[in-house]
Amino acid sequence: MLELQILIDGFAISALYALGAVGFTLMFGVSGVLNLAHGATMVVAAVTAWVVAGQYAVNPWMAAVAGTGAGVVTAFATYFLIVRPIQRSRSVPAAEKEIFVLTGTLLWGIMIQEAVAYFYTDNPKTVRPLLAGVMQIGGVRTPINELLIAVICWSVIGLLWLLVNRSKAGKVLLAASINPRALTLLGFELSRVYLMVWLIYGVLAGVAGVLLATFLGASSAQASQLTASAFSIVVLGGLGSVSGSLLAAYIVGYLETMTAYLISPTYRTIPALVLLVLVIYVRPRGLLGRR
């Protein structure tokens, strides 16, 4: 019974982790940007869904769409206000641009976090579940919403796989991650590729933020924790490797769930962090990393 409970709970949480981390790793793989405003983007999506659902009394699905839209807007704002000016700046030496982007997005994330806290307090916000009610799975009472979250996460990840592997736009994305210079020589606008990757990233982070709000709740105070969690999953899986991130999300999700059930929820994150340190020692490129 407890095993089944761990299996079900861990699956839903890991799916959510996977969705959050996939956008983060895709962004790094294609454009070399580590977006430390990731958690803040998820929180903006979550809080927007909460505001729209509460103030305009719309159904949870519409609120979820609004939240995802807010995720996209935040992603584009991050790109146009922070990342692109740094990438194009002549006063920042090329070798230091990555660290400038890292610092820029970190500060931007803090600004978003503080703004959300100022306007909507740092109390966690929750959005009404997309499907209410519970069902029994082998005697384990499971909220239907929890199963729906896993289904949505995997559907979105599946769509992303189709997009990357089966569409022309996706192949361009893939090419940009392997050899951006060759892509420009073939006549592709890199700036358009970047716009596309920020759009995809915004949708992924937005959906992850909204689903988090329907499941565990999200608050501005969690922004840095969400970034850290995506960052550790991505490092564990291998920077830039989407399949590595999916694998790492499930390892982290199940390690945390098992710790919470079998030891104590207080120590939930510790074993996963120990594993991360070990992987950095033994296999610095991560589980499935290429470099």
Residues near other proteins, by CB under 8 A = 2, 5, 9, 13, 53-54, 114, 117-118, 121-129, 132, 134, 141, 143, 145, 216-217, 220, 222, 257, 260-261, 264-266, 268
Residue 215 beta carbon to other proteins: minimum distance, rounded to whole angstroms: 8
Residue 276 beta carbon to other proteins: minimum distance, rounded to whole angstroms: 19
Residue 48 beta carbon to other proteins: minimum distance, rounded to whole angstroms: 15
CA angle centred on 246, ends 11 and 224, rounded to 5° = 85
Residue 144 beta carbon to other proteins: minimum distance, rounded to whole angstroms: 9
Which residue shows structure tokens 């700046």? Answer: 89
- Within 13 A of 44's CA, how many CA atoms are on the CB side? 28
Closer Cβ to other proteins, 87 or 219, answer by number: 219
Residue 235 beta carbon to other proteins: minimum distance, rounded to whole angstroms: 21
**Cβ–Cβ < 8 Å for 204, 156:** yes
Q: Which residues contact 80 (CB under 8 A, 6 or more apart)?
A: none
**Cβ–Cβ < 8 Å for 18, 208:** no
The strand pairing partners of 137, in sequence order, are: 140
Closer Cβ to other proteins, 4 or 81, answer by number: 4
Q: Which residues contact 243 (CB under 8 A, 6 or more apart)?
A: 237, 288
CA angle centred on 161, ends 155 and 167, rounded to 5° = 120
